[in-house]
A and B are shown apart, each in its own frame.
Chain A
Amino acid sequence: MASLWEYANPLKFMRTSERVLPYVAGAALLCLVGGLVWGFFFTPDDYRQGATIKIFYLHVPSAMMAINIWVMMLITSLVWLVRRHHVSALAARAAAPVGAVMTLIALVTGAIWGQPMWGTWWVWDPRLTSFLILFLFYLGYMALWAAIDDDDTAADLTSVLCLVGSVFAVLSRYAVNFWNQGLHQGASLSLDKAENVADVFWYPALLCIAGFVLLFVTLVIIRTNTEIRARRMRALLAREQVA
């Protein structure tokens, strides 16, 4: 019976992932272009926010991804610590820069939206602050990967950092709540019909979210495969030097 753990074999992972890669990449492109064009040109302006509502199609998906990528890194780190599958550690490594960029996109689009709406680029609001802290955690995680030469040591240390960092990231999120509730509105998307945004905004946003998820999967597959190949090259070179 086929199980998920078969993909712990780098060869198997590369073969399968490269077969699905064109489809995932194509679907990502389709969803992103479709969602953004639909959102930008074929939805009405919000009656209070005007055209600035359009940035929502970038801001919400990137913010969702920023958090979920960290969760994915947490899971792959755990898999690495427990089952020692290299692909898992490499996937976590591959995801980190994508997550950092998503966090940055969320922060920057938020600032651009906040300027006309709140009259300021930045406030020390709990959500904004916790995203900044999340960004710092991504930076530290990537810096630790880059600083250590030995691959397995680096994977071990960054995995533990990811676990401990998650606890502190969550703690910071609720600690900043302590100041005040802030300017940022509550969640605009919800599975509960009554709380959700209106359908005209909801469907293109859903398409954008799907696009961001697929884009992330594409990037992680490419980056993981690159890293596997780079390691193979290094191993070959080392073998040649010995011979």
Chain B
Amino acid sequence: MIALLVRDLRLAVRAGGGFGLGLAFFLIVVVLVPFGVGPDTALLSRIAPGVLWIAALLACLLSLDRIFALDFEDGSLDLLATSPLPLEGVAAVKALAHWVTTGLPLVLAAPVLGLLMNLPLAGYTALMISLMLGTPALSVIGAFGAALTVGLKRGGLLMSLLVLPMYVPTLIFGAEMARRGAEGLDYSAPMFMLAGISAGALALLPFASAAVLRVNLR
């Protein structure tokens, strides 16, 4: 499992810029928002938590099809399926590798972008914690969507249609937690809900992903 994780991380870092791309996309979406709604700092600081969350979600979505598609094309997914490692484990490790290469950088970059969006000083802790808790759920749910559409030639668009509705609960609690943090309110309730969603998704969805992968590898 660790060998697979290391392999996936190496591939992501060395081959073809999938690593930085999500981060750059995150930056660009956030930078575009003031052009769209105007540079009024009071308005920006009010919508900052939501914008950062939506941008993180989109950046996550962008890199999802890389989770399984490349391995499916060159046949290494078939090898992984026949290896002694259960396919559920493969799906979980793949999602973890996706989180380390996109989710984690997003968490680390978020405070800098928060500055650009004029996020109130009180909001940074809540923003970081919410992204830290929420992005693993985004990766695991996304891995399920990627597994569903792995055999399709033009699956990218379909995958976003399938995955985005499933992101709704995570987005609601994540953005709500970041907003409450920015307004200096108590954010423990959405935090627990967010952690619950992440934990549940982490525990259950690899099984669904593996079941779907088995169908697609038939």
Judge whether A82 is part of the interface by a CB distance below 8 angstroms: no
- Residue in contact with B155 in the complex, picked from A147, A153, A160, A163, CB distance below 8 Å: A147
Name the A residues within 8 Å of B216 (CB-CB).
153, 157
Docked CA distance A160–B193 (Å): 25
Residue interface mask A174-197, B partner, CB < 8 A = 1: 011011000000000000000000
> Are A178 and B176 within 8 A (Cβ)?
yes
Interface residue B108 (Cβ < 8 Å from any Cβ of A): no
Q: What is the interface size of chain B, counting residues whose CB is below 8 A from a CB of the partner?
A: 28
Contact with A along B186-218 (1 / 0, CB 8 A): 000010010001000000010010011001101
- A165 interfacial by beta-carbon distance below 8 Å: yes
A-B contact pairs, 20 of them (CB 8 A): A133-B168, A136-B161, A144-B158, A147-B149, A147-B152, A147-B155, A147-B158, A148-B151, A153-B151, A156-B212, A157-B212, A157-B216, A160-B148, A160-B212, A164-B166, A164-B205, A165-B165, A169-B165, A175-B168, A179-B172
Q: Which 3 A-B pairs have the closest CB atoms?
A: A175-B169, A136-B165, A156-B215
Instruction: Pick from A136, A139, A164, A169 the residue with the most CB of B within 10 Å.
Output: A164
Is the beta-carbon distance between B148 and A172 smaller than 8 angstroms? no
Determine if B62 is an interface residue (Cβ-Cβ < 8 Å): no
A13 within 8 A of partner (CB): no
Interface residues of B in 153-177 (CB under 8 A from A): 155, 158, 161-162, 164-166, 168-169, 172-173, 176
Instruction: Please tell me if A171 contacts chain B, counting CB pairs below 8 Å.
Output: yes
Chain A residue nearest in CB terms to B214: A156
Query: In the complex, what distance in Å separates the CA atom of A133 from the CA atom of B155?
Result: 21
Given contacts A143-B158, A147-B155, 15 further A-B contacts (CB under 8 A): A136-B164, A136-B165, A139-B161, A153-B151, A153-B216, A157-B148, A160-B211, A164-B205, A168-B165, A171-B169, A171-B197, A172-B169, A178-B173, A178-B193, A179-B176
B contacts with A: majority SS: helix
- Chain B residue at minimum C-beta to C-beta distance from A130: B168
**B127-152 vs A: 1/0 string, CB under 8 Å?**
00000000000000100100011011
Q: Of B165, B172, B205, B218, which is within 8 A of A176 by CB?
A: B172
How many residue pairs link A and B with beta carbons under 8 A? The number is 73
Instruction: Determine the residue in chain A with the shortest Cβ distance to B153.
Output: A147
Decide if A80 is an interface residue (CB 8 Å cutoff). Answer: no
| Docked-complex contact A163 and B152, CB < 8 angstroms | no
Interface size class of A (residues with CB under 8 A): 20 to 34
Most buried by A among B148, B155, B173, B176: B148
Query: CB within 8 A of B166: which of A144, A148, A168, A179?
Result: A168
Across the interface, which residues of B come within 8 angstroms of A160, CB to CB?
Answer: 148, 208, 211-212, 215
Q: Verify A172–B162 contact, CB threshold 8 A.
A: no
